[in-house]
Structure 1
Amino acid sequence: MGMTLIEKILANHSKESRVKPSEIVDIEIDIRAARDFGGANVVKNIQDHNLRIADPQKTFFTFDCNPTGSDQKYAVNQQICRLFARDNGVKVFDINTGIGTHTLIEKGLAYSGITAVTTDSHANILGAVGAFGQGMGDKDIAAAIHNGKVWFKVPKSVKINLNGKRPEGIYAKDIVLGLLKRFGANTLLGYAVEIYGDEVDKLTLDERITISSMATEMGCIIIFFTPNEAIMEYSQFRNGKKLEIVRADHDAEYEQLYELNIEAFVPRVALPGEPHNTVPVKEVKGVKIDSAFIGSCTNGRMEDFRIVGEILKGKQVAPDVVFKIVPATDEIWNECLKEGLINIFKEAGAMVSNAGCAGCAAGQVGQNGEGEISISSGNRNFPGKQGKGKVYLASPATVAASAIAGCIVPHDEIPEIPMTFGVSESKRKIVETAVCLDSIEIEKPKHIEGRVWYIPMDNIDTDMIYHNRYLSLTDVSEMGQYTFDNLEAYEDFAQRAKSGDIVVVHKNFGSGSSRQQAVDCFKALGIQAIVAESYGAIYERNAINAAFPIMTCATIEKLKLADGDIVQLNLETGEIINTSKKISVQGERFSEVQLEIYQNGGLF
């Protein structure tokens, strides 16, 4: 039996000739990178534990979350990374470069078959060129920089065939939003996905990047495309040497095969709050918008801006609408300038910022205010992710057309007269809230008993757990006070939680960003453990490496939990008991690796 693409790449980077799903292997990492978000914590871990750098030539910093350096705390963190890089011969792609994952592809560092880890939860974007990329927390990245390798659990693989002929007017963003509609946020949770088909083989690099970049929103480990001839030529030109394509074996074994008809795909938008909750654009036609955004690691590419330029040329952005445009890399920005696109954008009334992550990272243009309605080409629209307003996700074509119309419209149905606001619609109320609670560190035993916080919700993402506006904090003791302050109905969790409590949730807990703070905030509060049906892949690693107990249990509902019940957890056997109701279920016991790290008090 042959190997899938991820199995082949992991085997090629381990001491094993072949690997199988659920095996835990040490894999060599070709690229070890940290961003300005998380980078200072990576440096702190390395310095606190006196770690050496295994190979400075394979180690990088990418400053893309706050490329303007406009936030003082971000600026301090960037300088921490710069000084460390100077002392250790490490390359910094500084604030003038653009999004790190795109830079790795652009510079020829990422190509078919390589492995890379960064503090970016969208590192799996590298699947667009057939490379294995994975977002990880600051402890993982520090360990990778020190050891040159990390432990990894080989995921199961899924194969998707997109059959039929791609309809006219269907963009890559429409394809991935269609996939999100089909699979949701957790059907493919923890899987490596390979996509094939005649139309798939025709997808450009920019289109593949758009689709691969939203693997995280589907809960996937990664979405892989096998490079076609054009993409291999691009990678070889950028890298400067002959490269070999790594392919899945023809007899590889997949957990599931899905046959989908691409002819059924239509232009779509994701409704505010959930990237997977998508509908045809026509269903929300006429929704008034305050702002529009083109950019992010999903749609900040050259082909995207050419599409936007065609739509904007000779037209004007609607009155009252702020249209923000942010290229993914400085190279793309300069190409837009050469092709006259910047001039088209400016004449239409759009604003153009320097390359970077923009609204997704709260460090650049793209945030919105209380009550503001935005349409965005980004990959996430979690509550609070891009500010206090509501965000619809769509293709660059739909976003550009909507910016002209003043409301959401299909890209080929721009009205002659734009929609404008009435007086009453422009009144907004701005509310600022804050919570605080001193954090407490406690020792965690193998047998745990505590009071339950039962939150029967799926897809609680890291922005809900620990919002990105607090990411500049590096002192764990300060993090607890912000736990769940962006989760509706639990904004006062930190004030009401008690040391020793246990949080129980449902599927896909910790989806989204790679931020370690979403684990450390619970530790700061003295929360003993989290029990969930499943976890976001990066979150699971972060918790394990931080020696914070998380247990997986597919039958949580059988415990008939209510807030305040007392539960007992046996980390070694996986048994979970609701002592208040005398009900017992079997969860997953700690793996050997998890138990070893837990007993060691953390990865280091």
Structure 2
Amino acid sequence: MTLIEKIIANHSKESFVKPGDIVDIDIDIRVARDFGGANVVKNIHDYQLKVADPEKTFFTFDCNPTGSDQKYAVNQQICRLFARDNGLKVFDINNGIGTHTLIEKGLAYSGTTAVTTDSHANILGAIGAFGQGMGDKDIAAAFHHGKVWFKVPKSVKINLNGKRPKGVFAKDIVLGLLNRFGANSLLGCAVEIYGEEVDRFTLDERITIASMATEMGCIIILFTPNEAIMEYSEFRNGKKLEVVRVDADAHYDQVYELNLESFVARVSLPGEPHNTVPVSEAKGTPIDSAFIGSCTNGRMEDFRIAASILKGRKIAPEVVFKIVPATDEIWKTCLKEGLIHIFKEAGAMVSNAGCAGCAAGQVGQNGEGEVTISTGNRNFPGKQGKGDVYLASPATVVASAIAGCIVPYDQIPKTPCIHDITSEKIVEPALHHSIFDANKPKSVEGRVWYIPMDNIDTDMIYHNRYLTITQMEEMGQYTFDNLKGYEDFASKVQVGDIVVVHKNFGSGSSRQQAVDCFKSLGVQAIVAESYGAIYERNAINAAFPIVTCTDILELKLADGDKISVDFETGELVNLTKDISVQGEGFSEVQLEIYQNGGLF
């Protein structure tokens, strides 16, 4: 078996699993964040559930670690009170990013399983562990049962051959992988990375690469821990641990041979993490702000690199440089090593540990018309604010902050550039108050909303500024208000409509609201060529009909066409044009949950 198959088999009643199998997995670590945590508690209360094992169940407050937003503060307190009543550990607002905490505290290590309300829980692949971001219902079920159902993914092997070129950092490598594979060619796969140079990758470098599996559409990127990483895990855990390794005769769906020597320093252009170019092609682009942090690049090695370039220099005039360590332990180490002094002397702003701008609850957000270069993992429109965001390595980010424009880390000019930047105004959302009537037909007919786009992520569907909303009736009005060209969707959609899109619908964050907003509006179903893995689970668990069909183009759809969708057989018919195609019917699990009215 492959790594993912061995870990799943080890945590199930099966001795052998293969792609496509649906099995119940025992979960070693069950986590809810301040984002989603209050909804997890609400599900547990609503369905009168109990916590299966308090010692394996945690809360992590990393989205709004400053407690600066009233709604987040309320949600955090709901979680604290629940934790006190049930004997759960809370890693509170002074701690840092939850996934990093699991590694730092020795809770996660080679072969373990963890689920959280963080779509980047697959960062645990850096240490050879299974980590998955899941929605509120899944996490509530994990709290209660100690296990979740899971479909064994296909495994893909990537061999990185040759040596890493000088000046190419871990972030450049993962941006190179994104450039090669895009956002959906590895959709739903578990990826294992090997190579002689890979064996020497540090823990921090592996975290950087593993953390962007979500942006590649992967279930997870897995590394087999080397000796140094196992020593780290054993020290943190306090006991001797065994490495889970792939079998010599493991079967992979695809094997790719890539030349590491061809990789170069890269940046992602605004709007799409996978739309990357060499830094040299973006050189000279003026910036207003720079950011180092996030679960991708908030590690000690990142800050040592930044400090080595920044020491004795100043940030360019009119550029705001924001620095956010991933954990409080890293923050303290930066202080001990004198890095905080270097940052502050250069004119940088240093915040307490947390997710920062990616989660809209801390420094890192940018304003309309602002251009930011960031070490984050996402630069979807609106994700880190109203402005444009370029993604790059810490070395490129700090060099650009000094220069006032994007530059390679070894080409910092003597005199910084100063520029004026403007942007277009964003349309405000319309309101809609219709509420979905949850009957359960096995086939439906409805008017089509045809949106011929790939990679519509959850920030486009339901933006993170509305994540504190827990009442479904309020969610519908914000649907697609961050999807260009469809900002007025909520005011025009009709009860009974069916949305049809292309590949990788619902990629990105684990938010349940990106499903529930459609239910709120009365949308009957969504049809897509493929879905983001977490979104697919969220829809199934919420009993919201989603159907997969790879032949959507053959339906020759136009807005307003009437179609029928059969959930059991997967047949789709364009009733307006009398064209039918075959999609995928509901799986046994999906049909059972759908007929039950939801996971609970």
TM-score by length of 1: 0.99
Task: Name the counterpart of 1:514.
Answer: 510
Q: Check whether the contact 2:172–2:393 (CA below 8 A) recurs between aligned residues.
A: yes
Task: Name the counterpart of 1:366.
Answer: 364
Map 1:368-387; keep pairs closer than 5 Å.
368-387=366-385
AA aligned to 1:174 is D
Task: Name the Cα RMSD after superposition.
Answer: 0.8
SS at match of 1:355: coil
Q: Check whether the contact 1:439–1:479 (CA below 8 A) recurs between aligned residues.
A: no
CA distance 1:319–1:393, change in 2 (3 Å): same
Task: Name the counterpart of 2:207.
Answer: 209
Map 1:103-502; keep pairs closer than 5 Å.
103-421=101-419, 425=420, 433-442=428-437, 443-502=439-498
After TM superposition, what 4+ stretches of structure 1 lie above 3 angstroms from structure 2? 426-432
Give 1:16's match in structure 2, choosing from 7, 14, 31. Answer: 14
Q: Check whether the contact 1:66–1:363 (CA below 8 A) recurs between aligned residues.
A: yes
- For residues 224 and 426 of structure 1, the distance between their equivalents in structure 2, rounded to whole angstroms, comes to 40
SS at match of 1:243: coil
SS at match of 1:269: strand
- For residues 481 and 431 of structure 1, the distance between their equivalents in structure 2, rounded to whole angstroms, comes to 16
Residue deviations 1:475-534, cap 9 Å, x none? 011000000000000000000000000000000000000000000000000000000000
- For residues 546 and 465 of structure 1, the distance between their equivalents in structure 2, rounded to whole angstroms, comes to 16
SS at match of 2:36: helix
Q: Check whether the contact 1:114–1:131 (CA below 8 A) recurs between aligned residues.
A: yes
Map 1:78-89; keep pairs closer than 5 Å.
78-89=76-87
Q: Check whether the contact 2:370–2:421 (CA below 8 A) recurs between aligned residues.
A: no
Q: Check whether the contact 2:321–2:347 (CA below 8 A) recurs between aligned residues.
A: yes
Give the Å deviation of 1:432: 6.5
Residue deviations 1:115-139, cap 9 Å, x none? 0000000000000000000000000
SS at match of 1:332: helix
- For residues 322 and 434 of structure 2, the distance between their equivalents in structure 1, rounded to whole angstroms, comes to 39
Task: Name the counterpart of 1:46.
Answer: 44
Task: Name the counterpart of 1:5.
Answer: 3
Residue deviations 1:234-264, cap 9 Å, x none? 0000000000000110110000000000000
SS at match of 1:503: strand
Give 1:524's match in structure 2, choosing from 514, 520, 524. Answer: 520
Task: Name the counterpart of 1:589.
Answer: 585
Map 1:19-30; keep pairs closer than 5 Å.
19-30=17-28
Task: Name the counterpart of 2:54.
Answer: 56
AA aligned to 1:602 is G
Give ranges in structure 1 of 5+ residues lacking alignment.
Answer: none
- For residues 28 and 204 of structure 2, the distance between their equivalents in structure 1, rounded to whole angstroms, comes to 23
Q: How many residues align?
A: 599
- For residues 419 and 27 of structure 1, the distance between their equivalents in structure 2, rounded to whole angstroms, comes to 54
- For residues 235 and 7 of structure 1, the distance between their equivalents in structure 2, rounded to whole angstroms, comes to 22
AA aligned to 1:441 is F
AA aligned to 2:482 is N
SS at match of 1:383: coil
- Aligned residues with identical type, % of pairs: 81
